[in-house]
């Protein structure tokens, strides 16, 4: 079968539709499409079978329909309609990429859609249920206005209408259709089932149009930059997010935030359009018009801010970092009213030999210098929830399965009694973060944390300082996230399985990574996320240390070092020379790049602060005020087998 005129060369996404679409992987193909062939294009068969792609609906060569049917809701006995709302991700993806939108720009979406409909939509002879918020009515399609994406209809006989208001009589409906010139948007029509198979493609085409304008299209898209591929830039990420949400790969809180942001943006955009129209319709240069222009600019800025938030959530890598900053909000308890500190011992079964070992190694009053209060638990989550400021939790060997989230708001210490692989804490089910840290000084050591079927990160440091030592983190989503003004010290730990290991930069957090193994992560080993800084800032600073390895495919380790040398202070270039003398190879990039980027970001932050102080007339800044630069220690980390390499930077 010949391809349609606008067909793209990218092909269908891989898999059978069951592979998670939200994994951030781009389907095969370069996403580019050949120039449109306006003449001689054959009618695309969306139900075809071929060697590479087999639709669930079978082949049009077989007699009868290949689509299912469903009974409409309501009190009126409407005829059955085609069941098309259950389409899989890859089916919608392929339709939009290969048949409908291809490489069109935002301003060309309606034109491309109309051309697609001309090839697949039966112009007349089919029935549909016209659905609105207040009534459903059966109509018959007698023509299609392709360029307007509308169908010309008449009421079917006998007249069937289901409404919440009895005033919608035959006469009222006839009058309403006359006001609409008998033209209805295709997305408001549900095609009546026909077992012959003649209207299968019509039903699918209407479904694709309806889904696109309900779930993908935004009213402001046409005003966006028009020099990019609309499918790649907007359709694919929004489509993936839609399926991530309905298949529960996105936390319900994040999905709700996205819908709220979308509603706010749409409301502000409507107001902006009204203000803009009022200005354009006025020829005067009055004070009232000037006020309207100021109001319009304010609305525009708010809209742009909301649009950026929406785009961040649509990005599968960044949605957890920026889009969902809500956390448990647990309040610190502070010191226990009695002033005592408690050691919480966790063990599924306590035997005499284990208790004797604990008394010798951890619970001896002589070693602690004070009389101890000890509480026993069989669940680590219960133990953490019982903690006050200064308490500690000792977790004995065993495998513990928890359903909730560890919210650590006080300065407490969690310590495994033994090797990390012997003390395993598993989190089951989708939901919130595994460990949320907001305490001033939290220490976690000798534990193995394992995620299963997760939709959020394994460790999130919101505030304060968290030290992670000799731990194993088996991740599924974003791994570790360090948020505003927080501090992470990570030593001798093993992190793998994450989509990315993320360190977020609003205000610069303090990050120490020493002798860790960062491996087998889908994206980069470490992603540094920071705002764009002025390009004229040249000073950079970083503490670059030794003992760093990362297998890469770069062919020139020396060239890498020379690239890092540019713009660095003399003390740093001297230190780089020491590396060269030690025969720097292509396997030494990970720690270099991380330390260099963190140091450069810190210096830029400092320069921006100095500039602000200068503008305020403060020429000599207090050294304490200027000591906001981040001390970076990136030492002895190994980066292996990370999908995109050891290190990446996202600038927003």
**pLDDT reported for residue 551:** 43
Instruction: Calculate mean pLDDT across residues 169-196.
Output: 94
DSSP string, 204-262: HHHHHHHHIIIII--TTGGGS-SSS-HIIIIIHHHHHHHHHHHTT-S-HHHHHHHHHHH
CB burial of residue 636 (10 Å; 0-12, 13-18, 19+): middle
CA dist 274 and 279 (Å) reads 9
CA dist 64 and 113 (Å) reads 27
**pLDDT reported for residue 232:** 92
**pLDDT reported for residue 54:** 35
pLDDT at 47 over 60: no
Of 394, 476, 508, 485, nearest to 443 by C-alpha is: 394
**pLDDT reported for residue 539:** 41
Share of the chain above pLDDT 90, in %: 40
Contact indicator for 597, 649 with CB cutoff of 8 Å: yes
**Token pair belonging to 363:** 């619970």
163 vs 643, residue with greater confidence: 163
**pLDDT reported for residue 507:** 53
pLDDT at 175 over 90: yes
**pLDDT reported for residue 622:** 41
pLDDT in tens, 465-524: 999 999 999 887 677 888 767 888 999 999 888 766 554 444 556 778 888 888 887 766
Query: CA geometry: angle at 25 spanning 19 and 26, to 5°?
Result: 110
| CB within 8 Å of 155: residues ≥ 6 apart | 137, 138, 139, 140, 170, 173, 174, 177
Average pLDDT, the chain: 75
630 vs 279, residue with greater confidence: 279
**Token pair belonging to 5:** 């005129």
**Token pair belonging to 594:** 């991380």
pLDDT at 109 over 80: yes
597 vs 308, residue with greater confidence: 308
Under the banding of pLDDT at 50, 70 and 90, the label for residue 139 is: very high
Q: How far is CA 505 from CA 132, 193, 527, 528, 605, in A?
A: 46, 54, 10, 7, 11
Question: Strand 517-519 relative to strand 81-83: parallel, antiparallel, unpaired?
Answer: unpaired
| Minimum mean pLDDT range among 256-270, 402-416, 508-522, 567-581 | 567-581
CA dist 427 and 434 (Å) reads 7
| Minimum mean pLDDT range among 139-153, 389-403, 416-430, 637-651 | 637-651
Under the banding of pLDDT at 50, 70 and 90, the label for residue 56 is: very low
pLDDT at 397 over 90: yes
DSSP string, 487-513: EEEEES-EEES-S--EEE-SSPPEEEE
**pLDDT reported for residue 526:** 72
**pLDDT reported for residue 166:** 73
Under the banding of pLDDT at 50, 70 and 90, the label for residue 597 is: low
118 vs 368, residue with greater confidence: 118
Contact indicator for 459, 482 with CB cutoff of 8 Å: no
81 vs 167, residue with greater confidence: 81
Instruction: Calculate mean pLDDT across residues 268-274.
Output: 93
Instruction: Calculate mean pLDDT across residues 42-49.
Output: 50
**pLDDT reported for residue 12:** 36
**pLDDT reported for residue 440:** 94
Contact indicator for 492, 470 with CB cutoff of 8 Å: yes
pLDDT in tens, 535-564: 433 443 333 333 444 443 333 333 333 333
**Token pair belonging to 470:** 């000799």
Instruction: Calculate mean pLDDT across residues 261-273.
Output: 94
636 vs 446, residue with greater confidence: 446
**Token pair belonging to 445:** 């050591």
**pLDDT reported for residue 400:** 95
Q: How far is CA 527 from CA 233, 482, 520, 550, 604, in A?
A: 22, 11, 14, 15, 18
**Token pair belonging to 276:** 């803009």
Q: How far apart are the first and last CA of the chain?
A: 45
pTM summary value: 0.57
Of 128, 142, 130, nearest to 194 by C-alpha is: 128
pLDDT at 619 over 50: no
pLDDT at 214 over 70: yes
Share of the chain above pLDDT 70, in %: 66
CA dist 383 and 377 (Å) reads 6
280 vs 435, residue with greater confidence: 435
| Minimum mean pLDDT range among 86-100, 149-163, 407-421, 620-634 | 620-634
Contact indicator for 447, 383 with CB cutoff of 8 Å: no
**pLDDT reported for residue 500:** 64
Output helix, strand, coil percentages for the chain, rounded to the nearest 5. 35, 20, 45
243 vs 11, residue with greater confidence: 243
pLDDT at 248 over 60: yes
Top mean pLDDT of 85-94, 323-332, 481-490, 503-512 is at 85-94
pLDDT at 256 over 90: no
Q: What is the 3-state secondary structure (H, E, C) of 69-120?
A: EECCCCCCCCCCEEECCCCCHHHHHHHHHHHHCCCCCHHHHHHHHHHHHHHH
Under the banding of pLDDT at 50, 70 and 90, the label for residue 594 is: low
């Amino acid at each position: 079968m010949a391809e349609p005129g606008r067909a793209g060369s990218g092909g269908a996404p891989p898999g059978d539709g069951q592979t998670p679409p939200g994994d951030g992987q781009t389907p095969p193909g370069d996403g580019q499409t050949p120039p449109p062939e306006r003449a001689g294009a054959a009618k695309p068969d969306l139900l075809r079978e071929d060697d590479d792609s087999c639709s669930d609906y079978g082949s049009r060569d077989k007699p009868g329909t290949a689509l299912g049917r469903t009974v409409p809701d309501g009190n009126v006995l409407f005829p059955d309609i085609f069941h098309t709302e259950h389409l899989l991700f890859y089916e919608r993806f392929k339709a939009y990429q290969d048949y409908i939108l291809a490489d069109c720009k935002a301003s060309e979406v309606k034109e491309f859609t109309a051309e697609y409909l001309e090839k697949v939509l039966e112009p007349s002879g089919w029935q549909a249920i016209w659905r609105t918020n207040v009534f459903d009515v059966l109509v018959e399609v007698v023509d299609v206005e392709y360029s307007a994406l509308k169908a010309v209809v008449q009421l079917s006989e006998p007249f069937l209408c289901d409404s919440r208001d009895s005033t919608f009589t035959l006469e009222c409906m006839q009058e309403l259709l006359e006001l609409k010139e008998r033209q209805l948007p295709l997305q408001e029509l549900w095609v009546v089932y026909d077992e012959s198979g003649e209207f299968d493609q019509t039903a699918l085409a209407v479904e694709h149009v309806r889904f696109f304008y309900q779930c993908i299209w935004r009213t402001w898209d046409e005003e966006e930059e028009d020099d990019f591929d609309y499918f790649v830039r907007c359709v694919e990420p929004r489509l993936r997010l839609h399926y991530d949400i309905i298949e529960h790969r996105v936390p319900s809180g994040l999905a709700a935030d996205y819908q709220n942001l979308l509603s706010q943006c749409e409301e502000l955009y409507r107001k902006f359009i009204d203000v803009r129209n009022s200005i354009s319709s006025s020829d005067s240069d009055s004070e009232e018009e000037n006020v309207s222009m100021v109001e319009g600019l304010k609305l525009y800025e708010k809209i742009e801010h909301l649009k950026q938030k929406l785009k961040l959530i649509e990005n599968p890598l960044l949605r957890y970092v920026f889009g969902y900053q809500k956390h448990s909000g647990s309040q610190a308890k502070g010191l226990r009213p009695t002033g005592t500190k408690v050691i919480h011992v966790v063990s599924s079964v306590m035997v005499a030999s284990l208790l004797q070992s604990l008394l010798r190694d951890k619970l001896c009053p002589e070693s602690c210098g004070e009389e101890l209060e000890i509480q026993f638990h069989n669940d680590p989550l219960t133990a953490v929830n019982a903690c006050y400021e200064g308490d500690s939790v000792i977790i004995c060997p065993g495998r513990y399965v928890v359903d909730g989230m560890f919210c650590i708001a006080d300065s407490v210490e969690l310590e495994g009694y033994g090797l990390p692989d012997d003390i395993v804490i598993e989190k089951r089910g989708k939901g919130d973060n595994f460990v949320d840290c907001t305490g001033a000084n939290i220490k976690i050591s000798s534990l193995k944390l394992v995620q299963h079927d997760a939709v959020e990160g394994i460790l999130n440091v919101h505030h304060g300082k968290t030290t992670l030592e000799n731990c194993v983190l088996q991740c599924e989503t974003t791994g570790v996230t360090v948020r505003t003004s927080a501090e992470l010290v990570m030593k001798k730990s093993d992190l793998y399985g994450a989509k990315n290991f993320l360190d977020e930069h609003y205000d610069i957090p303090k990050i120490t990574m020493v002798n860790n193994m960062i491996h087998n992560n889908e994206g980069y080993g470490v992603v540094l996320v920071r705002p764009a800084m002025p390009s004229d800032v040249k000073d950079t600073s970083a503490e670059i240390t030794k003992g760093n390895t990362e297998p890469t495919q770069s062919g020139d380790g020396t060239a890498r070092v020379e690239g890092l040398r540019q713009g660095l202070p003399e003390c740093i270039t001297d230190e780089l020379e020491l590396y060269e003398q030690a025969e720097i190879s292509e396997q030494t990039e990970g720690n270099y790049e991380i330390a260099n980027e963190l140091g450069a970001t810190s210096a830029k932050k400092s320069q921006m602060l100095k500039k602000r102080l200068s503008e305020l007339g403060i020429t000599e800044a207090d050294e304490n005020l200027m000591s906001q630069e981040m001390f970076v220690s990136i030492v002895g980390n190994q980066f292996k087998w990370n999908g995109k390499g050891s290190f990446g930077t996202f600038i927003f």
